[in-house]
Chains A and B, each alone.
Chain A
Amino acid sequence: MTLLDTVLIVIGEIMIGVGALADLIAAIGMNRFPNFYLRLHAATIGTIWGSFLPLIGAALVAAGCKCLGEYRWFMSGGALVTSFVILILGPAGSHALARGTHRSGIVPVEPKVVDHLEEDESHPTSQELQEVEEGDSP
């Protein structure tokens, strides 16, 4: 085993470890965050840091592991392609979810500093929605 292989394997294992930690953090976030937009943030942490990064790490480990023979390039390439697909699909999916939710206006945007999208659109604001809900309750 050459020095390069050892370096590849160690870097790959560190990436897989970071991915496991990020998945744990994302799971805690999914359970503890109070509303949809914040939970979506936790979910994307699980996709990018918890899936994309460990897959790159697995590709590096497979590339550095001579004991796997020629097949290590198949494993490494498969992991790289999968990580690329996840990299482009995760943000697009969360963007579509967030945009659809914001346009339909069913979830109040909280906590909020500024919401330019809401100012641009003619949909009812989350504050108006809240007032309607409060008005309904006796």
Chain B
Amino acid sequence: MRYWVGLCVLILTILAISFVVAANINVLVPSTNVRTLAEIYLKYTYYPWDKYFTAMSPEACTSIVWDFRGLDTVFETMVFYLAIIGAIALARGVPLKLPKEIKGDLGLSLIVKTVTKIVPVLIIAVAGSIALHGHLTPGGGFQGGATAAVAPVLILVVFSQFYLLRRGVNKNSMLLLRSIGLTGIGITAFAAVLIGLATGHYAFVLQNQPKPLAPDISLPAFVGGQLISGSLWFFNFFEFLAVAAGFTIVFLLITLPEKLAEAREEKRVAEGGEK
């Protein structure tokens, strides 16, 4: 009975869609007029003729996220890094180090390892293009960073954690990278104010292009003829570094071999520590 009901629903759906498409009813066919909302976005994202109200970036999402509501995004970034700091604090004292000797083969078979030698390079390249083109095409710092963090996960699963640790991808180096990213976001947020202080003009925090109350200060929209949209490129780049490093730390911690933690705990108890 259920089988026949499902089949009827499927056939009716197909027939309905075919009818709508064939009869050219204006439900699925978009209108050719530009809607009011679209006009607003066109006017406030990339519109050099009105220099006080444009973000100078053709990508509406990045304009909104890092320019129109930049302060919101700073707080969102803070929430994300507080979560990562929480994970690191939970794993306080956990030995993320190489053991003295490793017995046996680590990781998956040779076939998978060979393919995994090629793929992370592609992943990092795509992630970099997503992040650095974030002000021109869909994407941005967070998406690029999340994509880049897939490469260490792949290596963790296929080659084992020790492969990454041996090459210097450990908690401390990733914390350094993450701190560089967060400091960069902070400096970019205050860049307009610092320029304003140095030149004696009025400016806002998180300011990108000139504003009616601060008409003299703006970050460069073009560098060497290339559109970088003022602060947006820098925000995307530093967010990329911070997100990729933050996710890598969390993945390193959650794939920690349990035996290592047990061995350390036993050693601590043997040395007279409390259980």
Contacts and interface: CB of A to CB of B under 8 A. Distances in A.
Where chain A touches its partner, the secondary structure class is: helix
A14 interface: no
Contact of A95 (B112, B118, B119, B122): B112
B122 A92 contact: no
A88 interface: yes
24 contacts: A85-B119, A85-B122, A88-B115, A88-B118, A88-B119, A89-B115, A89-B119, A91-B111, A92-B111, A92-B112, A92-B114, A92-B115, A92-B116, A95-B109, A95-B111, A95-B112, A96-B108, A96-B109, A96-B111, A96-B112, A96-B158, A99-B108, A99-B109, A100-B108
A125 B71 CA distance: 61
Interface of B: 108-109, 111-112, 114-116, 118-119, 122, 158
A99 B158 CA distance: 13
A85 B126 CA distance: 12
A-B residue pairs, 10 tightest by C-beta:
A92-B115, A96-B112, A92-B112, A88-B115, A95-B111, A96-B108, A99-B109, A92-B111, A85-B122, A95-B112
Contacts of B119: 85, 88-89
A26 to B, nearest CB: 19
Contacts of A100: 108
A31 B179 CA distance: 49
Interface of A: 85, 88-89, 91-92, 95-96, 99-100
Contacts of A92: 111-112, 114-116
A85 B121 CA distance: 12
B158 to A, nearest CB: 8
Contacts of B112: 92, 95-96
A51 to B, nearest CB: 16
A96 B119 CA distance: 15
Nearest to B122: A85
B63 to A, nearest CB: 24
Contacts of A85: 119, 122
Given A88-B118, A99-B108, 18 more contacts: A85-B119, A88-B115, A88-B119, A89-B119, A91-B111, A92-B112, A92-B114, A92-B115, A95-B109, A95-B111, A95-B112, A96-B108, A96-B109, A96-B111, A96-B112, A96-B158, A99-B109, A100-B108
Most A-side CB within 10 Å, residue of B111, B114, B158: B111
Nearest to A99: B109
A99 B108 CA distance: 9
Nearest to A88: B115
Contacts of B108: 96, 99-100
B21 to A, nearest CB: 18
Contacts of A91: 111
B244 to A, nearest CB: 20
Contacts of B122: 85
A33 to B, nearest CB: 19
Nearest to B109: A99
A99 B112 CA distance: 11
B112 to A, nearest CB: 5
